[in-house]
Structure 1
């Protein structure tokens, strides 16, 4: 099967979890014998086409159309100010990618495609264009929504793009049962929606992939001694990740466990607030910030070096960093209230417990959860071993690719049946 794969970010350009997903799922689809052709954004310095690990990648050079868009877009997009350039990059990229897909590959070169998939609203406009220009079936992958990311106060334009894509798509794949329920509650067609969990590569994310010397060096870098507990947060630093609430929970933890230290790894718009909050709470010695996006192996070393992972998100359709930490045999605290795919990852009862569920919006509940893990190191280590086994059993990219192909194949087969009739 040849699949047109429209995604906003793809290696070497990685911004967040969507790029990580795209990188691994396409590789595993190729390993299964599928032909995957990626169309993605080019910030200007990347090759316009190349093959990466068997995946054909196209990156048409983009143009800035924001000055023209200002002449006719509605009031909402006008209010985006400088961010209209971001919308312009998405809009023009979808047009340029679909033009190359339809005009260059299909019509000019005669390349046959079986189907197309698009990812989030960033590829939504591409879905509508492909539908109007071809008779190919389209799958819409929903990793998050505008209403979820913005507490229901986001862009109406983006919401409309998401809903329109749900209508034109033949199938919708989302990342958790919690997310499917949320989509249905917002009026999306439930009969189209399938759930496929994301995954990790347990061979890459493995305790055996990190040496003891690397662990010692990393803990030493942060001044964390052998008898101290390292709590690790990895992720974008914005409200949905619950990072402010995690920092607010630390004074209660430090009072009871003075040797506990929180390491915050990531970037985002909450950086200044985090710095100010740490200073105001007087916990500078117990909270270490590293506002960077680090390479994959260094991130793996962080997981190996920590004693537990804390990801108290208040909105998290899935969340890959928690799986990464679980694969490194770490017990996990996750936010499980509201739309949370994290609660589908973490088991909170024996046998097979892997961590703790908390209300990510409550610092006191986060503190309670951290105490449950810190109070029994022996129990916590067993939870970590259980966590890795759960990843191997349910959350690998191989399993995600197979389940995704089940949806794709069912859709393409139904299309062929319809044509024969």
Structure 2
């Protein structure tokens, strides 16, 4: 099949690093192609609809008309000095006004993105279906799919209330109206958890239209066969140490601050306990505050900070851990690190939140020494290849129901 994969999120830039959403995009595109299907990727920062997300690097590359990779895109204002100047300028604007301006630009973005989708569809029809990762305020893809008569499979990760975790919403009533319209017009919706499905059903959508596919893992990359010996040696972790590890960007919803309460008690109980913290960019206030608090607690000898690492290096860092932790999670989300920990057959400690309890079972996949069970679960249910195959089945069912191919306007 020919698939148009759309990411209409205006905040995602070429070369974006880290984050579960980038992993989700790359792996799904890779799995669609691995299963023998042609995928055209359209994001918000390109002049062509023929981009692809590289599997080997973090860089979003672009294929020119000849099929060769075009040169890398550079933002001339992306240097540290320009970035600091931009931040100072932005900080002078009151927060409420900043949010309103941002949301207004997000709405305006639909006009330009709609034209870009139309240009791609005119040049490259027919597509069998469009797959879009929905983002707040974005309705251009929905309009284009309806105009051109192409089935739309919508990936839905969270309600608009998720925005409360970042900067909030400036135009909440409009955001809610757009969200309702887009999900109603989609031919099928892929929700990342049963909690999200319940939210969508509460908007009046028929249950059979909503399909739950939790996030997944690349079983080849995240394998128990990966060695963590080099990482343990690099950070002075001995065979007698019990290494508790975390992978993430130190975002507010990751809840790493909870370790400030746990670590003093745990290290007093077990002097060979060590914490390996993977992620966190230098200069990130939450990351820097966390390290400062560790120092103030006198726990520097018990913590190792790997900082931000390349995605291809994450498996060996997880391999260095004995126990992997998810300190906190939202009620609705499906953290990719959950499945990566499970793929590495690690003992996993996670919070009792509804979405995670759909995947983890206490005493079987989420406590010590049960990593092998966790690996078996992701092999059977939660690989990206399985998710891609299930999505294709959903698309085929939608196409069969519509009984028609793409139509020009």
TM-score w.r.t. the length of structure 2 is 0.78
Deviations 1:227-266 (CA, angstroms, capped at 9, x unpaired): 1111111112122122111332111211211211112222
Corresponding residue for residue 3 of structure 2: 3
The Cα shift of 1:106 comes to: 2.8
Asked if 1:250 is matched to 2:263, the reply is yes
Corresponding residue for residue 211 of structure 2: 194
CA contact (8 A) 1:230 1:308 kept: yes
Structure 2 CA distance for partners of 1:388 and 1:10, relative to 1, 3 Å: farther
- Structure 1 unpaired stretches of 5+: 65-76, 357-372, 374-379
Corresponding residue for residue 91 of structure 2: none
Aligned partner (choices 8, 19, 22) of residue 19 of structure 1:
22
Asked if 1:406 is matched to 2:383, the reply is no
CA contact (8 A) 1:37 1:57 kept: no
Deviations 1:327-365 (CA, angstroms, capped at 9, x unpaired): 11211111222x42x22332213xxx1224xxxxxxxxx
CA distance in 2, matches of 1:200, 1:243: 23
For the residue of structure 1 that corresponds to 2:225, the secondary structure is helix
CA contact (8 A) 1:146 1:152 kept: no
The Cα shift of 1:80 comes to: 5.0
TM-score w.r.t. the length of structure 1 is 0.76
For the residue of structure 2 that corresponds to 1:355, the secondary structure is coil
The Cα shift of 1:311 comes to: 0.7
Corresponding residue for residue 196 of structure 2: 179
Corresponding residue for residue 364 of structure 1: none
The Cα shift of 1:38 comes to: 0.8
CA contact (8 A) 2:193 2:333 kept: yes
Asked if 1:318 is matched to 2:331, the reply is no
Structure 2 CA distance for partners of 1:345 and 1:235, relative to 1, 3 Å: same
CA distance in 2, matches of 1:114, 1:167: 20
Corresponding residue for residue 390 of structure 1: 377
Specify which structure has the higher proportion of helix.
1
- Structure 2 unpaired stretches of 5+: 65-69, 78-93
Deviations 1:374-397 (CA, angstroms, capped at 9, x unpaired): xxxxxx2xx112221222111112
For the residue of structure 1 that corresponds to 2:398, the secondary structure is helix
Aligned partner (choices 135, 153, 164) of residue 150 of structure 1:
164
CA distance in 2, matches of 1:272, 1:49: 39
Asked if 1:343 is matched to 2:343, the reply is no
For the residue of structure 2 that corresponds to 1:28, the secondary structure is helix
